[in-house]
Amino acid sequence: MSSIKIECVLRENCRCGESPVWEEASNSLLFVDIPAKKVCRWDSLSKRVQQVTVDAPVSSVALRQGGGYVATVGTKFCALNWEDQSAVALATVDKDKKNNRFNDGKVDPAGRYFAGTMAEETAPAVLERHQGSLYSLFPDHHVEKYFDQVDISNGLDWSLDHKIFYYIDSLSYSVDAFDYDLQTGKISNRRSIYKLEKEEQIPDGMCIDAEGKLWVACYNGGRVIRLDPETGKRLQTLKLPVVKTTSCCFGGKDYSEMYVTCARDGMDPEDLLQQPEAGGIFKITGLGVKGIPPYPYAG
Ligand SMILES: O=C(O)[C@H](O)[C@@H](O)[C@H](O)[C@H](O)CO
Ligand SMILES: [Zn+2]
């Protein structure tokens, strides 16, 4: 039995930290602060943070093949150039929905950038329902839409054999699976693989580990849970000293560490006193299981 250690490695005071992504080439963790319109890069060796500010809420960031990054900014899929701090639109979605923005996004094993949308929140988890959709940006920059009627498009990842796509629409309180066709990027046969228990609260970001199990950050639940998608059973619960845990990824040496983002927005002054690390970046070691490298966008 390994001994699990959970520490706040960066007190960043993110309003809503999200989309942690490990960049092996720079030993860095990328993440965003959605309402602060910031993409951050934390160098795990120097412990320094760099940031790029964009002109709209930025909900996800991903690596790009050939260098640089892609990000979802407002309702745009963008190419992000770190050196000149520019974000250039590659495609726009939900043009008829002025109150929408993108939320979580991630690249599939074939290099397509998947991301879903939602109506802007008036408070955490308070928003006009059924306004979101799930999309992907193909390497040739065309966009495909999968479905609409989404409340809060959130965590996503693919099984290790690339045959299943896992997806969370937060207000369904369910982790869902689809059959996945990697060749075409098509999804089918939606089903629920896990329903959250009441105390687990709202399912948010998610990632898969090298054993094919899913790790789901529970917003308001102050925890990350490990699920077996085959049996539908919860295998493990990691409790954090902050309640608004938003997402997780593996990183560090051989992807043996887990990084967790969280939010401050929606907390009252008393909560903030009790959770001074809210909005920080947490590192979890000693899990005894590794993750897999993130896939880069192929366009
Ligand atoms: O982190 C995200 O994915 C959203 O953008 C957040 O706003 C929370 O998920 C939401 O508030 C909880 O439901
Ligand atoms: Zn999220």
The share of the chain scoring above pLDDT 70, in percent, equals 99
Evaluate: CB of 245 within 6 angstroms of ligand 1: no
Spatial separation of the C-alpha atoms in residues 177 and 195, rounded to whole Å:
12
* Cβ of 35 less than 6 Å from ligand 1: no
Cα 106 from Cα 75, distance rounded (Å)? 15
The pTM of this model reads: 0.98
163: Cα within 13 Å, side-chain hemisphere: 3
Residue 262 contacts residue 280 (beta carbons within 8 Å): yes
Residues known to be catalytic: 204
Q: What is the pLDDT of residue 138?
A: 98
Cα of 1 vs centre of ligand 2, distance in Å, is 31
How many whole angstroms from 196 Cα to the centroid of ligand 1?
Answer: 16
Closest ligand 1 atom to 204 CA: 9
Higher pLDDT: 1 or 51? It is 51
pLDDT digits (tens, 9 = 90+) for 59-118: 999 999 999 999 999 999 999 999 999 999 999 999 999 999 999 999 999 999 999 999
Looking at the chain, the whole-number percentage of residues with pLDDT higher than 90 is 99
What mean pLDDT comes out for the span 27-41?
98
Q: Is the pLDDT of residue 1 over 70?
A: no
Condensed to tens digits (0 to 9), the pLDDT of residues 231-263 reads 999 999 999 999 999 999 999 999 999 999 999
For residue 169 and ligand 1, the question of a CB distance below 6 A is answered with: no
Structure tokens at 257: 């560490």
Residue of 122, 204, 218 to mutate, ligand 1, most atoms within 8 A of C-beta:
204
Determine the Cα–Cα distance for residues 142 and 133; give it in Å rounded to an integer.
16
Q: Which atom in ligand 1 lies closest to the alpha carbon of residue 170?
A: 13
148 known ligand binder: no
- Residue 206, pLDDT score: 98
- Nearest-atom index, ligand 1, CA of 118: 5
Whether the CB of 154 sits within 6 Å of ligand 1: yes
Q: How far is the CA of 297 from the centre of ligand 1 (A)?
A: 23
**Mean pLDDT, the chain, as a whole number?**
98
pLDDT of residue 119: 98
Mean pLDDT of 180-199: 98
**Ligand lying nearest the CA atom of residue 248:** 2
Residue nearest to atom 12 of ligand 1 (CA): 125
pLDDT at residue 249, rounded to an integer: 99
Residue 118: nearest ligand to its CA? 1
Q: Does pLDDT of 8 surpass 90?
A: yes
**Domains, the chain, ranges and CATH?**
5-285 (2.120.10.30)
